[in-house]
Chain A
């Protein structure tokens, strides 16, 4: 039983990472019907920005770990938001303006991801970076379970981020416009809504979430390398699809579903079988429910 609950805690932590990244995928897809395949690499950029900022604040500036942490979280989110907006302005918007086929936009997104990965490799080299310890690890043990303060912080951060996003999408003027543009981008400007501004805001939110995930991941697993965003990015995308891409509740739930499935499989089968079995189960699930948990089938007007 203890083993079971220990795995639940591990799944909650991994689910939090997947959920934070999946939220970014789903926000952008909801507004643009575009899978921003560079999103996993924005997560990687976030981890690296956090690394350099933390190193500078702790070393040259001489700030304490607590102050450094308080500064690097918003700074990283701001930096990744800027990267997201830059991608939108430089790569996606020109294609959108020209009415390019969605296939070209997807290929462009993949290329942007490769540029971020290989740009990092070219600038910083292949050597791994070790993230400094900002929060001393405290282990809480109770009823035979052990959980670290970082693990709890990651889970709490994911829940808080989802709550903030849910508030923005459901209770604000810009959230109402985001939901409108997600359904009918043709009619939305005639309500006086500037679509480009809404799209930029969506990229800011989504990329900010990836940056937040990058900071939390770097603190929990303090070894960074240029391709760290690729696999977790793909998995988060799959999580978003399972939950029903375009719906933030789906992204959040999908992240945890995927993590529970992975950890559950690894607990029973050899770890080498983890991804094979987990994704086979998900494939069967997608046969049964192609739109995901919260997704709705959309009629296409022709």
Chain B
């Protein structure tokens, strides 16, 4: 049974149809990539899943619960994590604080209990140590030790992307939405991230839904690929099948070139 489903999802902004009857089913523990040209509606799809946009029609179901009626923080509490295409870190905080903020929904200490955080053995102190330990595990896992006490605004772009991934992991998601995770990274950083994504699946048991333009990354880590074009799903299947699909080629490089390329492949 799929952990996550999108059923006939449409999103209309004024007269513009950003998503047109999109359906998708994601199995637990799998990696699904959503690809397509710029303006195809990929990020809009993620925003509908996260609750940042309310879809015009259709529904999003996660672990049997409709997400379409829920607020973004409620969706996050259900176990849906998210990173962004344009980094959305809290630049006024350190890496450690950013990751601790990712733990917010798991922190059960109220305002009064917080007043005893300095007293060893108190509930607040025990919970603080537990959250810190979990965050430190993520810092070690993602090799962020050198950045832990630095303000994230001053970190290199690639490191910021990793911190954002770490913050999403700190929320302990079951489904992780990654919006162009390797965009702007150099080759070495990309390779590291691919290893981490594989480990995230294996060690944390997280289901991944990824938007990515880098086809090498898509081919390497995806179990399934969905292609969007002008808000419509035009292909869905295994990465190597999708790569050869003439509709996909046409969407990316135009009809004539796609036909020529398809002819060349048959020859």
* Interface residue B137 (Cβ < 8 Å from any Cβ of A): no
Tell me whether chain A's interface is mostly helix, strand or loop, or mixed: helix
* Interface residue A189 (Cβ < 8 Å from any Cβ of B): yes
Cβ–Cβ contact B111 & A182, under 8 A: no
Cβ–Cβ contact B171 & A176, under 8 A: no
Instruction: Give complex CA distance A183, B72 in Å.
Output: 18
Cβ–Cβ contact B76 & A183, under 8 A: no
Cβ–Cβ contact A171 & B114, under 8 A: yes
**Which B residues from 152 to 195 make CB contacts under 8 A with A?**
167, 171
Query: Which residues in A have their C-beta under 8 angstroms from that of B91?
Result: 183
Query: Which residues in B have their C-beta under 8 angstroms from that of A191?
Result: 73, 76, 101-102, 104-105, 167, 171
Partner of A189, one of B73, B89, B167: B73
* Interface residue A78 (Cβ < 8 Å from any Cβ of B): no
Query: Which residues in A have their C-beta under 8 angstroms from that of B89?
Result: 184, 187
Contact mask for chain A residues 184-208; partner B; CB cutoff 8 A; 1 contact, 0 none: 1011011111110000000000000
Query: Which residues in A have their C-beta under 8 angstroms from that of B68?
Result: none
Query: Which residues in A have their C-beta under 8 angstroms from that of B101?
Result: 176-177, 180, 191, 193
* Interface residue A33 (Cβ < 8 Å from any Cβ of B): no
Name the residue on B nearest A164 (C-beta): B115
Query: Which residues in A have their C-beta under 8 angstroms from that of B86?
Result: 301
Instruction: Give complex CA distance A289, B76 in Å.
Output: 40
Instruction: Give complex CA distance A193, B101 in Å.
Output: 9
Nearest Cβ on chain A to B128's Cβ, whole angstroms: 9
Instruction: Give complex CA distance A113, B1 in Å.
Output: 57
Nearest Cβ on chain B to A56's Cβ, whole angstroms: 29
**Which A residues from 155 to 181 make CB contacts under 8 A with B?**
167-168, 171-174, 176-177, 179-180
The tally of CB-CB contacts under 8 A between chains A and B is 75
Instruction: Give complex CA distance A245, B92 in Å.
Output: 14
Interface size class of B (residues with CB under 8 A): 20 to 34
Query: Which residues in A have their C-beta under 8 angstroms from that of B200?
Result: none
The total of chain A residues at the interface (CB under 8 A) is 24
Query: Which residues in B have their C-beta under 8 angstroms from that of A194?
Result: 71, 73
Name the residue on A nearest B107 (C-beta): A173
Contact mask for chain B residues 71-88; partner A; CB cutoff 8 A; 1 contact, 0 none: 111001100011010101
Name the residue on B nearest A192 (C-beta): B105
Given A190-B76, A192-B105, A193-B105, A171 and B88 touching (CB < 8 A)? no
Closest 10 CB pairs of A and B: A192-B105, A189-B72, A187-B88, A192-B76, A172-B114, A189-B73, A173-B107, A183-B90, A194-B73, A192-B77
Q: Which residues of B contact A (CB under 8 A)?
A: 50-52, 71-73, 76-77, 81-82, 84, 86, 88-93, 97, 100-102, 104-105, 107, 109, 111, 114-115, 117, 167, 171
Q: What are 22 sample pairs from A and B whose C-beta atoms fall under 8 A apart?
A: A171-B114, A172-B109, A172-B114, A173-B104, A173-B109, A176-B97, A177-B104, A179-B97, A183-B90, A183-B92, A183-B93, A186-B52, A189-B72, A190-B76, A190-B171, A191-B76, A192-B73, A192-B104, A192-B171, A193-B101, A194-B73, A301-B86
Starting from the known contacts A191-B167, A193-B105, 5 additional A-B residue pairs (CB-CB under 8 Å) come to A179-B97, A187-B90, A193-B101, A194-B73, A296-B92
